[in-house]
Amino acid sequence: MNSDSIIMDEKENWLGVKYVRERYNYERFRSIRQKFVLENRKKFENIDFQSNSQFVEVLEKMKTILNELNSNQKLRSSTSREAKTLLANLRNLSKQDQRLFTAILENEVFLIFHRFILENKHCSLDLKHDTLWNVAIASNFKLSKEKAEYLASSVLCLTGKLTELHKMDQVVFLEKMLFALTNFLLDHSSVGELLQNDKLLQKHARVLLDEHSSYHISLGLWFIRNLLKITKNAFEESLADYSIQNSILIALKNYSDDKDLLFEIIWTLTHVSEMDVQYETLSSELLMIVMELTKQNEEFLLIPILSILGNAFTSLSEQSIKNIIYTSEFSNVLQSSLLSNNFMIKREGLFLLSNMAAKSGESAGFILQNENLMEFLKDVLKKQEPHMYKEALYIVFNLCYTSSQYYSDSLQSPVKDTFLPLIKTANGLYVDEEIRNLQNQICNL
């Protein structure tokens, strides 16, 4: 070993020691910092705001205003001004001192004060709006289930008032109502029961979808999507008369270049398509526009689009199926999914084919007469990738069953002749009970 090599080895060793020392110091500093943070947090948790002058002053003002509201049928203008000032101060406090605001928020006086104003018919619309604004801010903070439900039910008291407002005022109220209610819903799914029963609010939610502001559309979609996620049968009336779908259709056309909003629209449609109803929740026109979005070659859009189509085939009429499957847009969707290297996309594509095979003779025949699709299925069965293989088995089973219902043996036999040898070869390889049952059922058809 020459002297240069020795020098380099020593240098590398020295650098290694230096790195270890720096790493140690970094970890030590991080531990000290973490300890400091935890100590401060513990101090914060132990703070008793009961003796805090500002805390006491705010609660006393709330109690004073509540007493006057209780004793007078008509609210004095001076009391109304005091209430609005107090509400404004609370909003500022939520930005300046969140610890103090949280302590006030946790006090039952805060809850009673805000609910009383929202429910009181003698309070002005301006005062109710400012109170609602505070509730929307409060919804950003994690509340207990009981307090969240308490405030959510107080917000719902305003639903009946919305019909009396002009469109602009409706939007101003709705944006804060839906913001607060969605936050409460995300924290506690039990709030969904309150929202599911409020059919009037569900109808009014569409108002935000008809706005020319992407923010309002996004907020409306956020509410609809999360409520559908938790309560599958929400918005039954608004979806049955197609009012929500029509609003979404317009938004799709108007915001085709807004990727963020498109993403929200598509995921909302995914939840709409999952509804268990006896009518077409999504029209062929809407599905065609959705399929056109795959031209953007965005994977984050393709997964929910495939899910939408797969779900839609369970409720589409025979005519709607014909209107879709023979289009170039549908061919592009299938090609993009089945040729993708993304496992999730390819699996969603198989899910779509499975529902097509199960739905009708028209859609099953489309698969059987498409050489590329048949070759793709054979390839999946040969490779025997567990999750992909299971989906392919469902497709074959549905093809065999549907072709026997709609066609003569002339079409059913090629299905068995094509796939049975591959299935028999793989039979017994998997311990998965579901796969074994599918294999046996197909072989016994």
| pLDDT of amino acid 149 | 96
What are the start-end ranges of the E strands in 98-204?
none
- Compute the distance between CA of residue 423 and CA of residue 420 in angstroms, rounded to an integer: 5
Q: Which domain holds residue 407?
A: 292-445
Question: Is residue 347 assigned to a domain?
Answer: yes
How large is the angle between the packed helices 343-359 and 371-383, nearest 10 degrees?
A: 120
Contacts 24+ apart (CB under 8 A), 199-202: 199/237, 200/159, 200/160, 200/162, 200/163, 201/156, 201/159, 201/177, 202/227, 202/234, 202/235, 202/237, 202/238
| pLDDT of amino acid 155 | 96
Angle, alpha carbons 324-330-333 (nearest 5°): 150
pTM of the model: 0.80
> Residue 78's CB: how many other CB atoms inside 10 A?
9
Burial of 371 (0-12, 13-18, 19+ CB in 10 A): exposed
Question: Is residue 335 assigned to a domain?
Answer: yes
- Answer for the pair 135, 180: CB distance below 8 angstroms, yes or no: yes
How large is the angle between the packed helices 243-254 and 214-230, nearest 10 degrees?
A: 140
Question: Is residue 425 assigned to a domain?
Answer: yes
Question: Is residue 327 assigned to a domain?
Answer: yes
> Residue 307's CB: how many other CB atoms inside 10 A?
20
Q: What are phi and psi of 335, to 5 degrees?
A: -65, -45
Q: What is the total count of domains within the chain?
A: 1
- Compute the distance between CA of residue 204 and CA of residue 163 in angstroms, rounded to an integer: 9
| pLDDT of amino acid 30 | 56
> Residue 75's CB: how many other CB atoms inside 10 A?
18
Question: Is residue 226 assigned to a domain?
Answer: no
Mean pLDDT for the chain overall:
83
| pLDDT of amino acid 44 | 47
User: Does residue 338 carry a pLDDT above 70?
Assistant: yes
Question: Is residue 244 assigned to a domain?
Answer: no
pLDDT tens per residue, range 400-440: 878 766 555 555 556 767 777 777 665 555 556 777 777 77
Question: Is residue 329 assigned to a domain?
Answer: yes
| pLDDT of amino acid 249 | 93
Burial of 91 (0-12, 13-18, 19+ CB in 10 A): middle
**Average pLDDT for residues 229-251, to the nearest whole number?**
89
Q: Which of 33-47, 52-66, 169-183, 415-429 has the highest mean pLDDT?
A: 169-183
User: Does residue 217 carry a pLDDT above 90?
Assistant: yes
Would you place residue 17 in the very low, low, confident or very high pLDDT band (cuts 50, 70, 90)?
A: very low
Q: Check which CATH number belongs to the domain holding 421 and give it.
A: 1.25.10.10
Give the residue among 358, 265, 243, 365 at the shortest CA–CA distance from 311: 358
Question: Is residue 238 assigned to a domain?
Answer: no
User: Does residue 26 carry a pLDDT above 90?
Assistant: no
Would you place residue 299 in the very low, low, confident or very high pLDDT band (cuts 50, 70, 90)?
A: confident
Would you place residue 122 in the very low, low, confident or very high pLDDT band (cuts 50, 70, 90)?
A: confident
Among 31-35, 137-141, 277-281, 426-430, which stretch is predicted with the lowest mean pLDDT? 426-430
Of the CA atoms within 13 Å of residue 267, those in its CB half-sphere come to 17
